[in-house]
Chain A
Amino acid sequence: MSIDMKQFHQVFFEESFEGLDIMESGLLNMDPGAADPEEINSIFRAAHSIKGGGGTFGFNHISSFTHVMETLLDEMRDGRRQVTTEAMNVLLQSVDVLRDMLTATSDGADHDEERATLQQVELNKILNGEATPSIEGGAESTPVTEDADQHLGWHIVFRPLSHMLRTGNDSLRIIRELDSFGDLKLTCDLSALPLLDEYEAEDSYLSWDIYLHGDISRDTIDEVFSWVDDDCELAIMPLVNEAAQVVETAAATQSPEEKLDLVDKPDDKRAGGDRRANERRKPATAGASSIRVDINKIDTLINMVGELVITQSMLSMLGEDVEDKAGDREERTRDGLEQLERHTRELQESVMQIRMVPISFTFSRFPRLVHDLSSKMGKKIELEMTGENTEVDKTVIEKIGDPLVHLVRNSLDHGLEMPDERIAAGKPETGIVQLNAFHKGGNIVLEIRDDGRGLNRDKILSKAIEKGIVPEDHGLSDRQIYELIFMPGFSTADVVSDVSGRGVGMDVVRRNINELGGGIEIESTPGKGSAIIIRLPLTLAILDGQTVVVGNETYIVPLVSIVESIQVRGDQINRVVGQGETFKLRDEYLPVVRLHEVFDIADPKAKELDEGLLVVVEGEGRNCGLFVDDLLGQQQVVIKSLEANYGKVDGISGATILGDGSVALILDIQGLMRLARDGKLDADIQQIA
């Protein structure tokens, strides 16, 4: 048969990686000793699909490796084996090995055979009785291992669907091939044969019950049926202990009961076929709740929807002017336009959401990381995550993963103490690492917090002096000292572990975050813990904005930076010589930044402070009053980069497109405050010159 199987490889790999994710999260969620059978079942199904696919595409190393995992899982599923922490750890490691094997295979590289073999040995160790015996199974249900399969032989129920012959497969040839393996006994079921005048020569009506005795591996039999897999009903059962008969169909994911059921009712052929088809479809649809889309396609979509919005608002404006003496056409036009507006807006919103991904995509890897590292380091660690649903742009998600892993590893390794040390310090034995994500001040903030020993200020300092990074008479603040850990090649770890401590990293972390346009800070209290705070800009994120007008120009102020908007009275204003204006808000004196001055906007409507509005905004922890003509509406805007085609503009963080298609600039409050301050300095310098 000349179907090019390669075209399906990509699908197989994608599905397999999804399967691995299911297995991993399932294993992590499982409670040793009290596992949810449904959970085990879903892990088993994932393993089973990978094995089946691997076999079909000729990746025998994958299918044989997965087979061992599957056997173990199968026993757990049937309650014949207890779910132990040890077994779960081995399974988790196996998931990793399998992931590497799949990655290597999909890249066309050689996989690490040695590692796979070692892992297989581990799995077999668990399988071969080193695990605890099952609670209820008792002695009569000995675990079915591969060895047991091989001795007695197989019971095969082979029921070709009526069209099988037309696919070019011949049942007789299959049976002959089986015969060549060993002692074959079969009975033929003629019950489906129709009357002669209804007989279609090309249809297949016969089915067989086959008993094949001999030391034959399961793979050999699977291979015989590999081409007719989809064109027949097939049940292959090892001839072992009757009580513990394990039944598997070649590629379906039915539970054993259902399969036996199918065998029991050989007459109910059509129904069986249908059910089988349904069973097959179910896991497929469950996995297909998301699809992979090229990000360029989404960007094109986003831009086109933007165009649509503009066209729509243009039409709306035209619609306003429609005058129709005859009567109802005018109204109908307006109704239509209103609907168009509503639909366009909804379309725009949903399209915007596509690029935004919850941060949980990045966070989801941490439970595993913490689980693995805590057992490796012998620490007790609890991971707490908040704000997993905070939406972040896809690009940020892709780039923030590795730096975060590094920081969490650092927290686990350096930050948290060993259990006895913690108890001695009067802290609970279990250390807590928190991963938090939230929006703040127009940024997305990611925090990694631990309640460990905190940064060792003196140690960092002595190391820095030793390395000649800082002079002995440094006069650095605590914060500046903590900053030193971002220097290239800086590590205070006494022993370099394989977790961290090589001193490569923090500088790379900072560089990566800077590349994303973000910043990183450290907070630390000796003995209480430390926190790494990452601020990321909302590139292409949706921002809640307040539209403000000055003269003929419109700007967007990020809503998160706005404290309040007020109208000032003349007596609240103070002029300080050389310092500009301030106004008194309750007990605070706030500097005034006149937007029309900073941005040199022609013809502002309000020149005196009591003519316009003051928007009290917060930036870098300080407040100031932004003087504008008027406020318009609040709206969600999509941040567009000014830098993509132009460059960085002081006081502007980006641009957005308004409903009428025009561009409005988004204010960068911190930059604006800096600009106002420096602008004054510049002016002073010019005056002197």
Chain B
Amino acid sequence: MSEQAAKSENADDNKDQVNNEYLTFILGAEAYGVDILRVQEIRGWEMVTRIPNSPSYVRGVLNLRGAIVPVFDLRERIALDPIEYSKETVVIVLRVKNRTSERSMGIVVDAVSDVLNTGADSIRNTPEFGHAIATEYICGLVESDGKMVMLLDVDRLLNYDAEIENIDVDVA
């Protein structure tokens, strides 16, 4: 990515903080949200090509208009019990950044629910509690229709390998 592009991305990020829109989805009984500007595409689950000798949460790779995109099972990634994939099962393709590059990655979730529009001040910090998902992946909590939505830090969640473990903390 060129420097200029990187700058404009950052500008986007700044804008989010003023007016945040999140795509929310369901995983078991819980609702999660990801920054909608990071969402590249939502598609129904279809068979992917398995990658040999990869971690178990890596479902495989799919063909996204000519690009090879890995797909992760979010349930396995955050240690929830796996379920059978159904008609409602969707893959959300996200743009994930690390210091040097931007990648596309898909996550398998139970179902997509809504787009949540929320001001920055209604996002609360993550309390330290023993939740199903490791708190380090959650960048905030927000309430919607009386339900708690956990906002996921896409970059932390999906930069799986050690090489990228120490990502820039101030991204997003």
Q: Which residue of B lies closest to A657 (CB)?
A: B63
- Complex A-B, nearest 8 residue pairs according to Cβ-Cβ distance, in ascending order: A303-B66, A599-B52, A306-B66, A663-B49, A646-B70, A645-B103, A655-B68, A303-B65
A640 at interface, CB cutoff 8 A: yes
The answer to whether B53 and A663 have CB atoms under 8 Å apart is no
Instruction: Mark B50-92 against chain A: 1 for CB-CB distance below 8 A, else 0.
Output: 1111100000111101111110000000000000000000000
The answer to whether A649 and B49 have CB atoms under 8 Å apart is no
Pairs A–B under 8 Å by Cβ, sample size 24: A303-B67, A306-B65, A553-B49, A598-B52, A640-B68, A641-B68, A642-B61, A644-B68, A644-B103, A645-B67, A645-B68, A645-B103, A646-B68, A647-B161, A649-B54, A651-B52, A652-B51, A655-B49, A662-B49, A663-B49, A663-B62, A663-B63, A665-B52, A675-B53
Instruction: Mark A666-689 against chain B: 1 for CB-CB distance below 8 A, else 0.
Output: 000000000100000000000000
Task: Tell me the minimal C-beta distance from A361 to chain B in angstroms.
Answer: 24
A307 at interface, CB cutoff 8 A: yes
The answer to whether A644 and B70 have CB atoms under 8 Å apart is no
B37 at interface, CB cutoff 8 A: no
A310 at interface, CB cutoff 8 A: yes
Task: Tell me whether A599 and B53 are in contact in the complex, defined as CB-CB below 8 angstroms, given that A644-B103, A645-B104, A646-B61 are known contacts.
Answer: yes
The answer to whether A307 and B161 have CB atoms under 8 Å apart is no
B150 at interface, CB cutoff 8 A: no
Question: Secondary structure of the B side of the interface?
Answer: strand
Residues of A within 8 Å of B61, CB to CB, are: 642, 646, 655, 663
| Chain B residues within CB distance 8 Å of chain A | 47-54, 60-63, 65-70, 103-105, 161
The answer to whether B52 and A600 have CB atoms under 8 Å apart is yes
The answer to whether A644 and B67 have CB atoms under 8 Å apart is yes
Q: Which residue of B lies closest to A307 (CB)?
A: B65
Picked from B50, B53, B70, B103, the residue with its CB within 8 Å of the CB of A553 is B50
Residues of B within 8 Å of A647, CB to CB, are: 161
Task: Tell me the minimal C-beta distance from A189 to chain B in angstroms.
Answer: 59
Residues of B within 8 Å of A306, CB to CB, are: 63, 65-66
Residues of A within 8 Å of B60, CB to CB, are: 663
Residues of B within 8 Å of A652, CB to CB, are: 51-52
Instruction: Mark A289-314 against chain B: 1 for CB-CB distance below 8 A, else 0.
Output: 00000000000001110110010000
Task: Tell me the minimal C-beta distance from B77 to chain A in angstroms.
Answer: 15
A604 at interface, CB cutoff 8 A: no
Task: Tell me the minimal C-beta distance from A601 to chain B in angstroms.
Answer: 7
Given A303-B67, A306-B65, A675-B53, 8 more pairs with CB closer than 8 A: A302-B66, A307-B65, A553-B50, A598-B52, A644-B68, A646-B68, A647-B161, A655-B68
Residues of A within 8 Å of B54, CB to CB, are: 649
Task: Tell me whether A663 and B48 are in contact in the complex, defined as CB-CB below 8 angstroms, given that A600-B53, A645-B103, A649-B53 are known contacts.
Answer: yes
The answer to whether B52 and A640 have CB atoms under 8 Å apart is no
The complex places the Cα of A664 from the Cα of B50 at a distance, in Å, of: 9
Task: Tell me whether A640 and B50 are in contact in the complex, defined as CB-CB below 8 angstroms, given that A645-B103, A645-B104, A663-B61 are known contacts.
Answer: no
Task: Tell me the minimal C-beta distance from B36 to chain A in angstroms.
Answer: 20
Residues of A within 8 Å of B67, CB to CB, are: 303, 640, 644-645
A32 at interface, CB cutoff 8 A: no
Task: Tell me the minimal C-beta distance from A557 to chain B in angstroms.
Answer: 14
The complex places the Cα of A640 from the Cα of B63 at a distance, in Å, of: 10
Instruction: Mark A618-658 against chain B: 1 for CB-CB distance below 8 A, else 0.
Output: 00000000000000000000001110111101111001010
Residues of A within 8 Å of B53, CB to CB, are: 599-600, 649-651, 675
The answer to whether B68 and A310 have CB atoms under 8 Å apart is no
Picked from A553, A645, A650, the residue with its CB within 8 Å of the CB of B105 is A645
Residues of B within 8 Å of A307, CB to CB, are: 65-66
The complex places the Cα of A675 from the Cα of B53 at a distance, in Å, of: 11
A137 at interface, CB cutoff 8 A: no
The complex places the Cα of A652 from the Cα of B67 at a distance, in Å, of: 16
The answer to whether B70 and A665 have CB atoms under 8 Å apart is no
A661 at interface, CB cutoff 8 A: yes
Q: Which residue of B lies closest to A675 (CB)?
A: B53
The complex places the Cα of A307 from the Cα of B63 at a distance, in Å, of: 9
Interface residues of A in 550-605 (CB under 8 A from B): 553, 598-601
The complex places the Cα of A647 from the Cα of B51 at a distance, in Å, of: 11
Residues of B within 8 Å of A661, CB to CB, are: 63
Interface centre among B60, B66, B161, by most A CB within 10 Å?
A: B66
The complex places the Cα of A642 from the Cα of B50 at a distance, in Å, of: 12
Task: Tell me the minimal C-beta distance from B51 to chain A in angstroms.
Answer: 6
The complex places the Cα of A598 from the Cα of B47 at a distance, in Å, of: 22
The complex places the Cα of A644 from the Cα of B54 at a distance, in Å, of: 16
The complex places the Cα of A606 from the Cα of B108 at a distance, in Å, of: 32
Task: Tell me the minimal C-beta distance from A629 to chain B in angstroms.
Answer: 15
The complex places the Cα of A306 from the Cα of B63 at a distance, in Å, of: 9
The complex places the Cα of A303 from the Cα of B67 at a distance, in Å, of: 7
The complex places the Cα of A594 from the Cα of B14 at a distance, in Å, of: 52
The complex places the Cα of A147 from the Cα of B115 at a distance, in Å, of: 80
Residues of A within 8 Å of B50, CB to CB, are: 553
The complex places the Cα of A661 from the Cα of B47 at a distance, in Å, of: 11
The complex places the Cα of A655 from the Cα of B63 at a distance, in Å, of: 10
The complex places the Cα of A600 from the Cα of B70 at a distance, in Å, of: 19
Task: Tell me whether A663 and B52 are in contact in the complex, defined as CB-CB below 8 angstroms, given that A306-B63, A645-B104 are known contacts.
Answer: no
Q: Which residue of B lies closest to A553 (CB)?
A: B50
Task: Tell me the minimal C-beta distance from B64 to chain A in angstroms.
Answer: 9
Q: Which residue of B lies closest to A310 (CB)?
A: B63
The complex places the Cα of A553 from the Cα of B52 at a distance, in Å, of: 10
The complex places the Cα of A310 from the Cα of B64 at a distance, in Å, of: 11
Residues of B within 8 Å of A553, CB to CB, are: 49-50
Interface residues of A in 187-236 (CB under 8 A from B): none
The complex places the Cα of A663 from the Cα of B66 at a distance, in Å, of: 9
Residues of A within 8 Å of B66, CB to CB, are: 302-304, 306-307, 640, 657
The answer to whether B47 and A649 have CB atoms under 8 Å apart is no
The answer to whether A662 and B52 have CB atoms under 8 Å apart is no
Residues of B within 8 Å of A650, CB to CB, are: 53
The complex places the Cα of A640 from the Cα of B49 at a distance, in Å, of: 14
Residues of B within 8 Å of A657, CB to CB, are: 63, 66, 68
Task: Tell me the minimal C-beta distance from B111 to chain A in angstroms.
Answer: 24
Task: Tell me the minimal C-beta distance from B38 to chain A in angstroms.
Answer: 14
The complex places the Cα of A466 from the Cα of B110 at a distance, in Å, of: 67
Task: Tell me the minimal C-beta distance from A312 to chain B in angstroms.
Answer: 14
Residues of A within 8 Å of B49, CB to CB, are: 553, 655, 662-665
Q: Which residue of A lies closest to B48 (CB)?
A: A663
Residues of B within 8 Å of A641, CB to CB, are: 68
The complex places the Cα of A661 from the Cα of B46 at a distance, in Å, of: 11
The complex places the Cα of A645 from the Cα of B70 at a distance, in Å, of: 7
Q: Which residue of B lies closest to A602 (CB)?
A: B50
Interface centre among B48, B51, B52, B70, by most A CB within 10 Å?
A: B52
Residues of A within 8 Å of B47, CB to CB, are: 662
Residues of B within 8 Å of A665, CB to CB, are: 49, 51-52
